[in-house]
Structure 1
Amino acid sequence: MPRSPSIVPRVDHDTYLVLNDFGRLGRAWCEADEEGTDRESLLRRLLEDQYSHPVRIVAFNTAEGWSRDVTVDIADELRRRFAEYDDVPSSVQEFLETAVRR
């Protein structure tokens, strides 16, 4: 019996995805192109206010066979980078407040 092709991306780096709260519309994982799923791109997009209400961030690496919730790790990294930015988006401030409660 022929095997179907894998739907798992063949990426050699850790992949980060954001669960965003869209209010009445509910929560959904935000779409991202393959090139924009690394840690630095995620941090940049958060600080550029590209997510309205991020509530959870997960990372995975299919080549290494792991996945985990990295919400608190990303929140800590954002706090360390605050000094580099004059204005921190309100979406990031709200994200940090909720990440603390985890």
Structure 2
Amino acid sequence: MRRSPSIVPHGADRDTYLVPNDFGRLGRAWCETDEEGTDRETLIRRLLEDQFSHPVRIIAFNTAEGWSRNVTVDRADELRRRFAEYDEVPRSVQEFLETAVRR
């Protein structure tokens, strides 16, 4: 019997972060990224480099440990702490932080 390929990422023993983005009239979708780009540091860097136009939330999961959760508020707090490292904070991040506060 033929088996479908696994959707579990290689190296599943680490936390993986995904960001759904709001594309307006087109709706919301998970932003495509390579497997190496799903760690916390890369996520924060990509947000601050304005690689997401309208991030909605941040979801983390770890298949080896068997959990998933909405980590939007935690990552928003981390973004605020890192502002000093950047000359300018993208508007998309500012808007994301405003909505994260209301959660």
Aligned residues: 102
* Residue type of the alignment partner of 1:33: D
1: CA distance, partners of 2:2 / 2:91: 51
Residue 8 in structure 1 maps to residue 8 in structure 2? yes
- Give the superposition deviation at 1:2: 6.8
Counterparts of 1:1-102 in structure 2 under 5 Å?
4-11=4-11, 12-102=13-103
- Give the superposition deviation at 1:5: 4.4
- Which stretches in structure 1 are left out of the alignment for 5+ residues? none
Where in structure 1 do 4 or more consecutive aligned residues deviate above 3 Å? 1-5
Q: What secondary structure sits across from 2:79 in the alignment?
A: helix
- TM, length-normalised to structure 1: 0.93
- Which stretches in structure 2 are left out of the alignment for 5+ residues? none
Structure richer in strand, relative to its length: 1
2: CA distance, partners of 1:4 / 1:29: 21
Percent of aligned positions that are identical: 86
- TM, length-normalised to structure 2: 0.93
- Give the superposition deviation at 1:6: 2.8
